[in-house]
Structure 1
Amino acid sequence: MTALLRYHSALFFRSQRWLAPLLLYAAVVAVGVRPGDPVAGSLGIAAAALVPVSAWAVRICLTQEPAAARAVTAAAGGRTRAHLAALLTGAGWPVLAGAAAVGAVTATGDRAGIGGPAALLAGLLATTACGLTGGAVGALASRPFVAAPGWSVAVLLLGSLLALVTTGSPAKHAVTALVAADGGVLSPWAACAGAVLLAAVTAAVSGRAAARLE
């Protein structure tokens, strides 16, 4: 699996297709977050913006290989393992970018009444929840479920929106839990655990579907 992760990461970065989602994330954070703003709200913006970015990155990793190269990778490492490696690559790098944003937001935001470690922990948990939820959206909006590029993008955008507004979504719960009733922050442990479960189930279903349908 390590070799497959390195392979997909190398494809991801060498293709420079990662620039678009990264620039989108940087733009949203730069516009929505200002130094001195309340840290809880800023962390919520940084986490929420990761949902479409992570979904986009997962779709890139699932579609970046030509069909012939994908067949070779599947023969060498197994179709399911290769598919899961692409999913992990697509979701992992955005989460790392989100973690860097959380560090910057925590350092520059107004932490009145909120401890730095508590804000950092809450931000990291929310970022993980949103990144994994977005990754699940990207997996469902890409091959083998949606092959046509136009429909894939439409499903990705709609799924990202629903992930942020639907009651019960780990991403929505994580962003909401950042701001407590008294102006503090609540660490969204439940949302993060739910996102991990959602991502695991989606990855398993997607991997099995890829093995059967491709």
Structure 2
Amino acid sequence: MTRYQLMLLLRSQRWLPPVLLFALLIVAGWFGGQQYGDSLGWCAAMLVPATAYLTRTVLTGEPAAARACLAAVAGPRRAHLAALYAALAVNTLLAVVGGGFEWLVSSPPPGLAHPPLAAIALHGSVSILVGLLSGTALGALCAPPVLRRPAAGVLALAAASITLLVAPVSPVNAAVRAVFTSSSASATTSDPLLPLAAAALLLALAWAAAVRTAGRTEGS
């Protein structure tokens, strides 16, 4: 079922707008010689709206008749979970490509007091994972069956994306701040494990709510 959802997405080409949005955001924040930590943190932040948008695209791309048939055969909860797995798969690919691009076009912090590049890469990868999980969770909550009206889903997605990026208590905000090597004189980074745990919990709760809602909706 997950493979079916992936093929449906690729053939529809509805993946183009969120992917182009992510590419535009990455290019808009790219400056020649930008530090590794800053670039990876920027990628993590921009993954939130892009992966949320892409998740919503996956969850709304199946025709109503086909969705009803799949739900009747496999069960509404399994069918919706398969779509969520497909969204997570394409979002992971987007995160890998975006993180790889940022690493290639960036440079180490100036001076000799910067942390090892391996530590910057590790911490930056964790921050990207935080953005990936948070955006995927957000997309699941801003799509049917949780939010059925398209306008409400889009507005909620935009508002929640901004909140996750700017709110100090947000796991994304904390993860990005942890890896910005230009935010301190010593250019240090820290491992955003606590934001990662919060993002994983957010994803689990969002998926549980979406799958449970799908089961109730199809069963009623």
How far does residue 92 in structure 1 lie from its aligned partner after superposition?
A: 2.8
How far does residue 147 in structure 1 lie from its aligned partner after superposition?
A: 1.0
Is there any run of 5+ residues in structure 1 with no aligned partner, and where?
Answer: none
Aligned to 1:115: 116
Size of the aligned set, in residue pairs, is 211
Residues 35 and 77 of structure 1: is their aligned pair in 2 closer, same or farther, counting only changes over 3 Å? Answer: farther
Q: Deviations over 1:63-90 (max 9, x none)?
A: 1111110011112222111111212222
Work out the CA distance in 2 between the residues paired with 1:97 and 1:118.
Answer: 22
Q: Give the share of equivalent positions with the same residue, in percent.
A: 37
Aligned to 1:145: 146
Matched-pair contact (CA < 8 Å) for 2:91–2:136:
no
How far does residue 170 in structure 1 lie from its aligned partner after superposition?
A: 1.5
Residues 125-144 of structure 1 mapped to structure 2, 5 A cutoff: 125-144=126-145
Work out the CA distance in 2 between the residues paired with 1:71 and 1:42.
Answer: 43
Aligned to 2:78: 81
Aligned to 2:63: 66
Aligned residue type for 1:26: A
- Residue of structure 2 aligned with 1:187, choices 163, 184, 191: 191
How far does residue 142 in structure 1 lie from its aligned partner after superposition?
A: 1.1
Work out the CA distance in 2 between the residues paired with 1:14 and 1:152.
Answer: 24
Residues 20-35 of structure 1 mapped to structure 2, 5 A cutoff: 20-35=17-32
Work out the CA distance in 1 between the residues paired with 2:175 and 2:4.
Answer: 32
- Residue of structure 1 aligned with 2:206, choices 202, 208, 211: 202
How far does residue 50 in structure 1 lie from its aligned partner after superposition?
A: 0.5
Aligned residue type for 1:132: L
Residues 26 and 37 of structure 1: is their aligned pair in 2 closer, same or farther, counting only changes over 3 Å? Answer: same
Work out the CA distance in 1 between the residues paired with 2:140 and 2:126.
Answer: 21
Q: Could you tell which deviates more after superposition, 111-120 or 150-159?
A: 111-120
Q: Does 1:105 align with 2:80?
A: no
Q: Could you tell which deviates more after superposition, 19-28 or 115-124?
A: 115-124
TM-score normalised by structure 2 residue count: 0.90
TM-score normalised by structure 1 residue count: 0.92
Work out the CA distance in 1 between the residues paired with 2:208 and 2:82.
Answer: 12
2:188 is paired with a residue of what secondary structure? Answer: coil
Aligned residue type for 2:178: A
